[in-house]
């Protein structure tokens, strides 16, 4: 679960109240510092401080709820990704307080990034596996070395402008369907004009 800290900003005194969790998100022990506008801005990421300031300004001017995603730097110089939400509490027609909360999304973002990396690694592994299958087919049928099989796939991929992985998958699918016609396999034959060359079959 993400950490959620609450705050109250009082306009007349330009003062802030933080919940214990908000202190912790900022890297402080509860009560260790006196919350203030300067402290809040000092811990926003330099590139995102204006977004935070604009969000608070929008709440003060309209009284409507507003929010912004931004980065902050805690007391230990760690960069966090957070969502800050605020809404105005009017007295008469003027907003006198802003109540809101801050959600620490850092761990969620980190997990999302890790999942994306793992997905990419998984896809790369799958791509490699199908290419190895296609090479194995060519090695068996064309009696070529692993390097020659790869060169056959690679050169044909460039010639027909199809990704190597997609070409390999097409060859694997073609062989798995059976039948007597293997159009792609016929095209992936060694050539004497610079392409891969087959080796004499054993016993020839």
> In terms of pLDDT, which residue wins out, 203 or 172?
172
CA atoms of 9 and 4, how far apart (whole Å)? 17
What pLDDT score was predicted for residue 10? 95
Query: Distance of CA 199 to CAs 46, 52, 66, 146, Å?
Result: 64, 69, 71, 12
Would you say residue 196 lies in a domain? no
Same-domain check for residues 82 and 174? no
Reported as a single tens digit per residue, the pLDDT across 115-163 is: 765 666 666 666 777 887 788 788 777 788 888 888 889 888 888 888 8
Reported as a single tens digit per residue, the pLDDT across 44-73 is: 999 999 999 999 999 999 888 888 889 999
What pLDDT score was predicted for residue 178? 54
- Number of domains the chain contains: 2
Q: Are 135 and 153 in contact (CB under 8 A)?
A: yes
> In terms of pLDDT, which residue wins out, 66 or 43?
43
Mean pLDDT of 102-123: 74
State the alpha helices, DSSP H only, in the chain: 20-25, 37-42, 49-62, 106-142, 146-160, 164-176, 183-187
Q: Of 61, 86, 104, which residue constitutes the final position of a domain? A: 104
Label residues 9-20 b or e (16+ Cβ within 10 Å = b).
beeeeeebebbe
What pLDDT score was predicted for residue 121? 60
What pLDDT score was predicted for residue 137? 80
Same-domain check for residues 129 and 91? no
Q: Are 131 and 28 in contact (CB under 8 A)?
A: no
Same-domain check for residues 42 and 99? yes
Res 75 pLDDT > 80: yes
Reported as a single tens digit per residue, the pLDDT across 169-194 is: 888 887 766 544 467 777 887 764 44
What pLDDT score was predicted for residue 139? 78
Would you say residue 76 lies in a domain? yes
Q: Are 16 and 37 in contact (CB under 8 A)?
A: yes
What pLDDT score was predicted for residue 72? 95
Confidence of residue 195 (pLDDT cuts 50, 70, 90): very low
Q: Are 21 and 28 in contact (CB under 8 A)?
A: no
Same-domain check for residues 131 and 176? yes
Label residue 3 exposed, middle or buried (CB < 10 Å: 0-12, 13-18, 19+): middle
What pLDDT score was predicted for residue 131? 84
Other Cβ atoms within 10 Å of 178 Cβ, number = 8
CA atoms of 128 and 146, how far apart (whole Å)? 14
Same-domain check for residues 171 and 125? yes
Confidence of residue 11 (pLDDT cuts 50, 70, 90): very high
Q: 147: domain range?
A: 110-187
HSE of 34 in the Cβ direction (CA atoms, 13 Å)?
A: 4
User: Would you call 132 helix, strand, or coil by DSSP?
Assistant: helix
Average pLDDT over all residues of the chain: 82
Would you say residue 192 lies in a domain? no
Would you say residue 195 lies in a domain? no
């Amino acid at each position: 679960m993400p950490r959620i800290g609450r705050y109250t900003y009082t306009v007349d005194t330009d003062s802030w109240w933080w919940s214990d969790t908000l202190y912790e998100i900022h890297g402080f022990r509860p009560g260790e510092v006196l919350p203030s506008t300067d402290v809040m801005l000092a811990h926003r990421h330099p590139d995102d401080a204006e977004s935070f300031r604009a969000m608070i300004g929008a709440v003060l001017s309209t009284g409507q709820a507003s929010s912004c995603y931004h980065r902050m730097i805690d007391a230990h110089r760690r960069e966090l990704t957070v969502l800050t939400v605020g809404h105005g509490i009017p007295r008469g027609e003027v907003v006198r307080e802003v109540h809101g909360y801050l959600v620490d999304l850092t761990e969620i973002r980190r997990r999302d990034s890790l999942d994306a990396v793992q997905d990419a690694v998984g896809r790369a592994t799958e791509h490699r596996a199908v290419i190895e299958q296609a090479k194995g087919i060519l090695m068996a049928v064309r009696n070529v070395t692993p390097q020659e099989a790869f060169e056959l796939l690679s050169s044909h991929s460039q010639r027909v402008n199809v990704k190597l992985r997609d070409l390999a998958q097409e060859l694997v699918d073609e062989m798995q369907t059976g039948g007597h016609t293997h159009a792609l396999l016929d095209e992936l034959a060694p050539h004497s004009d610079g392409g891969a060359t087959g080796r004499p079959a054993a016993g020839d």
